[in-house]
Structures are given as structure tokens and as C-alpha cells.
């Protein structure tokens, strides 16, 4: 269990460093630079380092660390909740940034800046985690450091099946995100953390359940066993298709591309129901009759 304690300390250290980076960038940088660059860089760095360490615990822990999958999934839920509470509005996910662009919530320049920051943050997180493993602080890290150069692809299914799995994970994640994004953080954060944990548990054996192109690129693209085009189809095109399907199902349209609602009929919220109109006419009729009688009873000159 000493290895698990060291990993937990590493998680705390990474979150603390990223929080300091967010605090400094908010004070020293302009709001636009902080939102598009520093915040997304810190979020992607935090997410990538945590994911790599968790994958190490999940793969080596059961036969070398003396703990099972239940411990790793509990850590995954808690870390996902911490990420959701500490990201300060960052997505750390290219498909979420593209979704914001398609919903007219972000400009093209801001979206491109976010994507670049996410890629740099994930790559930096991978490099820092590799350096941390090279110190071999525990037996788990010693083993991981030995097998890193010989890592194998996370795609353990046929290519269409794997792309469908990543697309389905992205579809469900974005559907939940669209549903709860306006909710209070007290409800939104646990809902997203539970969704990530469930998807990782069910889809992890097939593709690793990344449904995040930047995270997948940093963690598995350098591994042997699949070609670069295979990785592109599974970890880029699959999540992108899942995001578009979720957005179309939730909105009925994609505002950046077309305004017409293809799935749901639009009814004006100001339209008065017919029953109320009829009732109002029936109430007005007696009043009109009384006015007519009064005008007829007036003496004529």
C-alpha cells in the first residue's frame, strides 16, 4: 500500500501546483489569455498526469500493489470530482471546446487557442509524469518505468468496434454535460464524475475509454500495435462524431452550421391557448350587451 500512498500524494501535489498556476495567471494575465491559454493548459496538465498515474495503478496495482479495481475506480471518481471543482471553467477536452464553438459560445480564435493550450498541457503532463516515474520511488513505478518503452496500443477490439466505443462514450458524456451544464456545481460535478467512472469501467477494456483526443494523443499514440491512422479514427474521429450526435439530439440543430431545428418543432412561448381566448370572449359578451342596453336607453334629442 506504500505505492498507493505515494500516488495519492502525487495527485495532491499536481492539483496544488495547478491551482497555484491558475491563481497566478488570473492575477498576472488578461482575462482572455487566462481563459484561453493558462486555464486550459493547467487543466490539461492536471488531467493528463492524473490519468497516466491512474492507468499505471489500474494495470500494475492488482498483481503488484495488492489492491483491486474497486480502489482505482474510487480514486477515479474522487479525482474526476476534484477536476470538475478545480478546473475553473476549463474543459481540458478538445471536443468540449469544439462544442462551445458550435454553440456560438466561443469564437474561432479562442477555440484554436484552447486547442493549442490543451495539446501543450497534455504533452507537458506526459513528460513530467515520465520524469516522475524515472525516479522509481516505489516498486510500482520501477515496473512502470521498465515497461514504458514497450507499451502496447490501448485498442483491444476491431477498428470499427473501437471507434464506435469511443464515439458512444463521447456521445453519453456530452449528453450528460449538456443536460447539467447549467446546474449548480453541487449536482453537476458528481454527475459528471459518476459518468466518467461508469464509462471508464465499461469501455476501458476495449479502448481505454479516453473520449478526449488530447488525452489519448499524449498517453497512447506513441505505443506500438496500431498505426497513426488507426489512432486518428478511434480517438479523434470517434469522439468528434459522438459529440456532434449528442449536440444534434439535445439541440435539434447545430447553431454554428444551421439555425433550422431538424428534430423538434418550435412553438412560440407567447402564444395564448385557445381555451383562454374563448373564455375571454365569453366574458366580454355580457359586458358588451350591457353597454348596448345603456346606449339604447339614453334619451334622444
Tally of residues, the chain: 301
Q: Percent of the chain scored above 70 by pLDDT? A: 87
* Grid-cell match 487557442, residue found: 113
Residue 30 gets the label, from left (phi > 0), alpha (psi -120 to 50) or beta, of: beta
Tens of pLDDT, residue by residue over 101-133, are 999 999 999 999 999 999 999 999 999 999 999
Beta carbons of 206 and 153 less than 8 angstroms apart: no
- Give a yes or no: residue 284 inside a domain: no
What's the pLDDT at 268? 46
* Model confidence at 222: pLDDT above 70: yes
What's the pLDDT at 68? 82
pTM for this predicted structure: 0.85
Query: How many structural domains comprise the chain?
Result: 1
Give the list of residues 6+ apart from residue 208 with CB closer than 8 angstroms, or none. 55, 154, 216, 219, 220
Nearest-5° angle of CA 86, CA 177, CA 208? 80
- Give a yes or no: residue 220 inside a domain: yes
- Give a yes or no: residue 69 inside a domain: yes
Quick one: pLDDT band at residue 299, thresholds 50, 70, 90?
A: very low
Nearest-5° angle of CA 198, CA 199, CA 205? 110
CATH value at residue 224: 1.20.1080.10
Averaged pLDDT, 247-267: 84
Beta carbons of 243 and 171 less than 8 angstroms apart: yes
What span, in angstroms and rounded, lies between the C-alpha atoms of 106 and 104? 6
Quick one: pLDDT band at residue 158, thresholds 50, 70, 90?
A: very high
Structural domain including 216 reads 1-251
* Model confidence at 243: pLDDT above 80: yes
Amino acid at each position: 500500500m506504500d505505492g498507493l500512498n505515494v500516488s495519492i500524494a502525487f495527485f495532491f501535489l499536481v492539483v496544488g501546483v495547478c491551482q497555484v498556476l491558475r491563481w497566478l495567471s488570473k492575477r498576472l494575465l488578461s482575462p482572455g489569455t487566462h481563459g484561453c491559454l493558462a486555464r486550459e493548459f493547467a487543466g490539461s496538465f492536471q488531467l493528463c498526469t492524473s490519468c497516466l498515474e491512474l492507468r499505471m495503478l489500474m494495470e500494475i496495482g492488482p498483481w503488484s500493489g495488492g489492491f483491486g479495481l474497486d480502489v482505482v475506480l474510487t480514486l477515479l471518481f474522487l479525482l474526476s470530482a476534484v477536476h470538475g471543482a478545480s478546473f475553473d471553467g476549463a474543459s481540458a477536452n478538445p471536443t468540449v471546446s469544439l462544442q462551445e464553438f458550435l454553440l456560438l459560445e466561443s469564437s474561432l480564435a479562442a477555440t484554436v487557442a484552447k486547442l493549442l493550450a490543451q495539446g501543450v498541457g497534455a504533452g507537458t503532463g506526459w513528460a513530467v509524469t515520465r520524469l516522475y516515474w524515472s525516479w522509481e520511488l516505489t516498486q510500482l513505478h520501477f515496473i512502470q518505468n521498465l515497461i514504458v518503452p514497450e507499451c502496447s496500443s490501448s485498442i483491444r477490439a476491431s477498428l470499427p468496434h473501437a471507434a464506435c466505443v469511443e464515439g458512444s462514450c463521447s456521445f453519453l458524456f456530452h449528453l450528460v454535460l449538456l443536460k447539467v451544464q447549467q446546474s449548480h456545481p453541487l449536482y453537476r460535478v458528481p454527475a459528471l464524475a459518476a459518468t466518467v467512472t461508469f464509462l471508464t469501467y465499461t469501455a476501458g477494456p476495449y479502448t481505454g475509454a479516453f473520449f478526449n483526443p488530447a488525452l489519448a494523443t499524449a498517453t497512447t499514440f506513441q505505443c506500438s500495435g496500431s498505426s497513426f491512422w488507426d489512432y486518428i479514427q478511434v480517438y479523434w474521429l470517434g469522439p468528434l462524431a459522438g459529440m456532434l450526435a449528442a449536440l444534434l439530439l439535445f439541440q435539434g440543430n447545430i447553431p454554428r452550421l444551421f439555425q433550422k431545428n431538424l428534430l423538434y418543432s418550435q412553438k412560440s412561448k407567447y402564444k395564448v391557448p385557445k381555451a383562454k381566448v374563448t373564455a375571454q370572449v365569453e366574458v366580454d359578451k355580457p359586458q358588451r350587451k350591457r353597454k348596448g342596453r345603456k346606449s339604447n336607453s339614453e334619451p334622444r334629442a
